[in-house]
Structure 1
Amino acid sequence: MFVIRWILGRIILLLNAVFAPKPLTRTAEAQAHVAQKSQALSLYQYPACPFCVKVRRTMRRQNLPIQTVNAKQDEHKQVLVNHGGKLQVPCLRIEKDGQVQWLYESSTIINYLNDEFA
């Protein structure tokens, strides 16, 4: 089972690289505003997870410089479990006004990004 998942993961990553969406073009001022606004966001994800790829494609399409965190690494996995409440990816960490919110589910994350940045 591990071998099949590994192969499928590599196929997903290859197809994502080949068919990557074009990033949105903004003025320098607008892009700087988006970059500043997205500094408070982190995406906890697995590199070959299809739902994580879906969110990363949206991030690329909207040209959002959001930090991605590999949740397979033990220290990041513990942060996700201890602070987010569960080990599930993708998970968007949103820090706003000193409070942290953890947003799960790819479609919910994509809707949030569309509402905030589109």
Structure 2
Amino acid sequence: MKVIRWVLGRIILVINAVFSPKGLQRDADKQQEVDSQVEKLKLYQFEACPFCVKVRRSAKRLNLPLETRDAKVSPWEQELIEQGGKRKVPCLRIENDQGEVQWMYESNDIIAYLEQRFA
């Protein structure tokens, strides 16, 4: 089963690379404002997870320089479990201006949030 999952994951990554979406164009000032807002967002993900690919494609389409954290790597995995409450990806860590953190799971919820906030 692991071999099948690995092979399918690589196929997903190749397809994603070939059919990569084009990013939204903004003027330089607006893009700089978006970039500063995105600094407070972190996406916990697995590279070949289809739902994570879906979120990353949406972020690319919105031209968001979203920091991704591999949840298989020890410090990020531990942070996801301890602070987010579970080891489930994709998960978007959202820090507001007051320093409060919200953890959002489910790819469709994350995409809706990104589109509502940055489209």
Q: What TM-score comes out, normalization by structure 1 length?
A: 0.98
SS of match in other structure, 1:43: strand
Which residue matches 1:84?
A: 84
Letter in 1 for 2:111: I
Which residue matches 1:75?
A: 75
Which residue matches 1:101?
A: 102
Letter in 2 for 1:59: A
Which residue matches 2:11?
A: 11
| Mapped partners of 1:37, 1:77: distance in 2 | 24
Q: What TM-score comes out, normalization by structure 2 length?
A: 0.98
Whether 1:51 and 2:35 are equivalent positions in the alignment is: no
The superposition leaves residues 31-70 of structure 1 with CA deviations (integer Å, 9 ceiling, x where unpaired) of 0010011110000000000000000000000000110000
Structure 1 consecutive aligned stretches of length 4 or more whose deviation exceeds 2 Å? none
Letter in 2 for 1:27: D
| Mapped partners of 2:2, 2:92: distance in 1 | 27
| Mapped partners of 1:3, 1:44: distance in 2 | 23
Q: Could you tell me how far 1:74 is from its partner in structure 2?
A: 1.5
Percent identical across equivalent pairs? 58
CA RMSD of aligned residues (A): 0.5
Q: Could you tell me how far 1:117 is from its partner in structure 2?
A: 0.3
Unmatched tracts of structure 1, length 5 or more = none
Whether 1:64 and 2:64 are equivalent positions in the alignment is: yes
Q: Could you tell me how far 1:75 is from its partner in structure 2?
A: 1.4
